[in-house]
Structure 1
Amino acid sequence: MDVLDWFARWYAAQCDGDWEHGFGPSISTIDNPGWSLKIDLVGTDCDGRTLDRITHNYEHENDWWTCWTEGNVFRGAGGPLHLRSLLEAFREWATGTP
């Protein structure tokens, strides 16, 4: 399944009438340039899980991404072509499968 379809289904599965009003994912841009991904884990099937920082740096200065958890939030940041990498890293971490 495409990672964007998987992410939409994961989000829908977390919505319970309350969670989506105070928590949830957000995708925004950063000025490096690139992407920022923040996913509140409270009340999800990933609640309380941790991820030590993983970082991938490639040859070009905008060709990088990193993910970690902090304060029960999954966080990711990456260059302008790595939004998919961030979502794939979340899927792999959340499901435990590559």
Structure 2
Amino acid sequence: MELIKWLENYYSSNCDGDWEHGYGITICTIDNPGWSIKVNLRETPLENKRPFQKYVVERTENDWVHCRLKDGCFEAFGGPKNLNEILEFFKQWAES
């Protein structure tokens, strides 16, 4: 639950009456099965943050994570039980 609280704080800290209408955070399920997360970094303190090492882990068919920066967004995909790992990776990068 701490990661969810952290994500709530990250999101609300960027809401300025404008940003949340055009940008934001999307968390969806995918049919692999698994998770897809997109965090739009435009107009946030993370927009030009570097460095970013693409993160790819393939443990098993259902235990995998791919994280990248693409077109001003943090994008991540993972297996059905990897949501916490994805959020932890984003948090660590954002706070580094």
TM, length-normalised to structure 1: 0.91
Q: Which residue of 2 aligns with 1:74?
A: 74
Structure 2 unaligned blocks of 5 or more: none
- Please show how residues 1-98 of structure 1 align to structure 2 within 5 Å: 2-50=2-50, 51-58=52-59, 60-96=60-96
Indicate the structure with greater strand content.
2
Q: CA RMSD in A?
A: 1.3
Q: Distance in 2 between matches of 1:25 and 1:86?
A: 13
Once the two structures are aligned, what percentage of the paired residues are identical? 41
Pairwise CA distance, 1:53: 1.5
Pairwise CA distance, 1:85: 0.8
TM, length-normalised to structure 2: 0.93
Give every structure 1 segment of 4 or more consecutive aligned residues whose post-TM-superposition deviation is greater than 4 Å. Answer: none
Aligned pairs, number: 95
Amino acid at match of 1:53: K
Structure 1 unaligned blocks of 5 or more: none
Amino acid at match of 2:62: N
